[in-house]
Structure 1
Amino acid sequence: MLFDIAPKERVEDLYDMRRELSSLEGFLSDPYVRMVVILGPRRTGKTSLLRVALNELGYPRLYVDARRVLGSREYFVREVKRGLEEMLSARRHRRLLLKALERVKGISVGGVRVELEARDFKATVVDVLESVDRELGGGFFILALDEAQELSAIRWLPKVLAYCYDTLRRVKVVVTGSEIRVLEDFLGEGDPESPLFGRPYAAVRTRRLSREEAIGFLEAGFMEVGMSIEEAVLREAVDRLDGVIGWLTYFGWHAWKCGDLRRGLEEAVLRGSMLSRSELERFLARREEARARYIAILKAASVRPLSWSQISRYLMAELGRRIAPNQLARYLSSLVRYGFLEKAEGKYYVSDPLLREA
């Protein structure tokens, strides 16, 4: 269903991403592509694209949702355990996984339950990947790290991925994330000291829908749930939600459940703005000393795209003091890296339409 707010699992529920899906499936099936990176702004369907491709291809995979890891080694162990149990529950690859895991020290399997010894977890992960690589008779094993930039605190992981890249011919690595953070913070692009530096990868990019595509998505979704539409409300929804398919889905779901387009739009904007604000608060909580400056920058860039010098002048007027150029550059870089701002043609703007409403 198009208005299902959970990540999509079936190709028929993935709206207007045929080109991206075809590219991703092609890369995952190409023996000469070792790593694939799915990049795009927030809520543009990266997770849905990944999960649909994995389901369509049917390769065995270990899927880790890095948003649940929270930068914690303990939580990373838990998520790997969850991914292995998900594989065991899928009967298609159960025999392969059982045979591979019986070779690995520190893992015990009972039914579809997996117990891991966390003491030397790096070695355990390597052993699992090596064992799977040996057992595969054909095809590939996919190690999928969703929102991989959230794993940057797991310092040894890039070294393991570099080892897989260089050594394990049937193990492919797929990562998703916001462009700058996943490329620089996780893959170490531009840093010769990074374990993954210089290793080629294939990239697939998600995008915002055009105005026509966004209206088409809403029309198709409301037709699917049997709900009549009002063109004026759909146009307003696209104006306010800016072609971000995650927020458009949020609107469609709320309107469907309350039976009223206008109420659904206001509810989606209200709840979505609260969610965007909470994400910003988590970002600001670690930067309390500069909170007022970050908020002033976002306030300025939410009205219209602004150049570096225009933002500098705005901060001077708003805060009553000049911000040093190196400090302002650091603030802008952080906001872009975390997806709160985007930069195009030398100007910065708030990328999330509902953050502008918050």
Structure 2
Amino acid sequence: MLFSIEPKHSLRDIFNRKEEVSAFQKSLQSERLIVLDGLRRIGKTSLLKAVLEEFDGYHVFIDCRAYFRNNLIDVEAFDRALIKEIEKTLKLGKLKKILKSISGLSFGGFEISIEGKGQKTNLAEALKSIDETLKGKRFVLAFDEAQNLRFYRKGGKDLLNLFAYIYDNLKNFVIVLTGSEIGLLHDFLGIDDPDAPLFGRYLSEIRLQRFSKDKSLEFLRKGFEELAIDVSEKSLERVVDELDGIVGYLSIYGYIYYKEDPVNALEKTKELAKKLVEKELSALINRSTNYGYVLKAVSLHINRFNQIRTYIENNFGTISDPTLSKILNTLVKQSFLEQKYVDGVKRYLFPDPVMEYVCKEMRMK
């Protein structure tokens, strides 16, 4: 169903992403390191899961958000999940013989027992055995919202070293990472950093963009047609005007209209979206109120560097140029803001209309 609010698992439910699906499928067969990125709620997880569901190979999926607690990755829980997912995959097809040869599998400081009669081994050696057995089939290690892995121990370097080992030595493995905080994900991977484990490796990047207004309207029409519901064009245009081309919001609207309340579906969607955004903003502003000051300014269309600094100093206190520059760069890297040149002048804008609305309503002290 197009209007399902959980991630999609079938390509028939993926709307208007033929080009991205095709690029991703081709990359899975030819590339070693793939990044699938885009704004929050743009459909990255759905596309990833739907393509993997029909993928002719093996895959492991880890949602990195599930192990992010108190601004750190719960290393033991993450390691356990990764090993368990690999063990589960080893029960499939010709990989079963590898499972029988292993009595224990370890990664980092964690080890699990396996019912095989062979020796205990570490994850890298197990992956090497898998690679030698695959003979042309590919094995995908997929990490959703992978920018969180920078909080795995000391900057995630242990994982980056594992990724570099896989890239360099295991020709049948593919590492896939999704990310909503695009700049932070690229910083974490360090492809252009000579001191980073993955420096110099080729990265295949697929970015999901917002739907255009026409495509957003088409998505809503098709979704309601699937449900045999007639909704006026005027109502659909109002929805798109207020929610933009972010497929996650459009899906929530369609789901609420169908399941709960057609009369108040748009308002309820905005309230639910507002709660999602408020949770994300709360975690950000708890780190520094400067983030809130900047977002408040931009929500009021005070969106040039000097204008933002003046607004903050007039309302909240002094802020230095280096501090403001750092805050703005971080907000762009985390995809809370985007920067565009308008008439030759750099301006900061919200990519998400709900986030802009929430920030405009924020009360900052």
| TM-score normalised over the length of structure 2 | 0.87
Q: 1:296 aligns with which of 293, 296, 299?
A: 293
Q: 1:318 aligns with which of 305, 315, 318?
A: 315
Identify unmatched segments of 5+ residues in structure 2.
112-120, 359-365
* Residue 277, structure 1, aligned to residue 278, structure 2: yes
Q: 1:235 aligns with which of 234, 237, 240?
A: 237
Provide Cα deviations, 1:154-190, integer angstroms capped at 9, x if missing partner: 23000000000000011111111132111112x1143
Secondary structure at the residue paired with 2:34? strand
2:162 maps to: 160
Superposition deviation, residue 63 in structure 1? 1.0
Partner amino acid, structure 2, of 1:353: P
Measured in 1, the distance between the counterparts of 2:15 and 2:223 equals 10
Relative to structure 1, the CA distance from residue 278 to residue 127 in structure 2 (aligned partners, 3 Å threshold; closer, same or farther) is same
Relative to structure 1, the CA distance from residue 243 to residue 117 in structure 2 (aligned partners, 3 Å threshold; closer, same or farther) is closer
Measured in 1, the distance between the counterparts of 2:314 and 2:250 equals 36
1:141 maps to: 139
Superposition deviation, residue 215 in structure 1? 0.6
Measured in 1, the distance between the counterparts of 2:67 and 2:97 equals 28
Superposition deviation, residue 314 in structure 1? 1.7
Secondary structure at the residue paired with 2:54? helix
Partner amino acid, structure 2, of 1:211: K
Superposition deviation, residue 224 in structure 1? 0.8
- Following superposition of structure 1 onto structure 2, how do residues 177-192 of structure 1 map, counting pairs within 5 Å? 177-178=179-180, 179-185=182-188, 187-192=189-194
Measured in 2, the distance between the counterparts of 1:305 and 1:144 equals 39
Contact 2:76 2:109 (8 Å CA) reproduced: no
* Residue 11, structure 1, aligned to residue 11, structure 2: yes
Superposition deviation, residue 337 in structure 1? 2.1
Superposition deviation, residue 343 in structure 1? 1.5
Q: Relative to structure 2, which stretch is displaced further, 265-274 or 276-285?
A: 276-285
Q: Relative to structure 2, which stretch is displaced further, 166-175 or 137-146?
A: 137-146
1:111 maps to: none
Partner amino acid, structure 2, of 1:280: L
2:247 maps to: 245
* Residue 49, structure 1, aligned to residue 71, structure 2: no
Q: Relative to structure 2, which stretch is displaced further, 347-356 or 98-107?
A: 98-107
Contact 1:106 1:117 (8 Å CA) reproduced: no
Contact 2:302 2:308 (8 Å CA) reproduced: no
Q: 1:119 aligns with which of 104, 109, 133?
A: 109
Measured in 2, the distance between the counterparts of 1:243 and 1:50 equals 19
Measured in 2, the distance between the counterparts of 1:206 and 1:94 equals 32
Partner amino acid, structure 2, of 1:45: G
Measured in 2, the distance between the counterparts of 1:225 and 1:86 equals 37
Partner amino acid, structure 2, of 1:17: R
Q: 1:336 aligns with which of 332, 335, 338?
A: 332
Relative to structure 1, the CA distance from residue 18 to residue 117 in structure 2 (aligned partners, 3 Å threshold; closer, same or farther) is closer
Q: Matched residues, percent identical?
A: 33
Superposition deviation, residue 82 in structure 1? 5.0
* Residue 174, structure 1, aligned to residue 171, structure 2: no
Partner amino acid, structure 2, of 1:65: D
Measured in 1, the distance between the counterparts of 2:21 and 2:354 equals 27
Partner amino acid, structure 2, of 1:3: F
Measured in 2, the distance between the counterparts of 1:297 and 1:263 equals 32
Partner amino acid, structure 1, of 2:26: G
Q: Relative to structure 2, which stretch is displaced further, 342-351 or 236-245?
A: 342-351
Provide Cα deviations, 1:9-67, integer angstroms capped at 9, x if missing partner: 1111000000000011011112xx21111111111111111112212222101111111
Contact 1:341 1:348 (8 Å CA) reproduced: yes
- Following superposition of structure 1 onto structure 2, how do residues 95-134 of structure 1 map, counting pairs within 5 Å? 95-104=93-102, 106-107=104-105, 119-120=109-110, 124-134=122-132
Superposition deviation, residue 117 in structure 1? 7.6
Secondary structure at the residue paired with 1:215? helix
Superposition deviation, residue 246 in structure 1? 0.8
Provide Cα deviations, 1:78-129, integer angstroms capped at 9, x if missing partner: 43145336536xxxx613343223344523xxxxxxxx686356x7331332
Partner amino acid, structure 2, of 1:315: I
| TM-score normalised over the length of structure 1 | 0.88
Measured in 2, the distance between the counterparts of 1:157 and 1:141 equals 17
Measured in 2, the distance between the counterparts of 1:344 and 1:100 equals 52
Partner amino acid, structure 1, of 2:61: Y
Q: Relative to structure 2, which stretch is displaced further, 10-19 or 306-315?
A: 306-315
Measured in 2, the distance between the counterparts of 1:331 and 1:247 equals 27
Measured in 1, the distance between the counterparts of 2:309 and 2:281 equals 21
Partner amino acid, structure 1, of 2:187: E
Identify unmatched segments of 5+ residues in structure 1.
108-115
After the TM superposition, which segments of 4 or more aligned residues of structure 1 sit over 4 Å from their partners? none
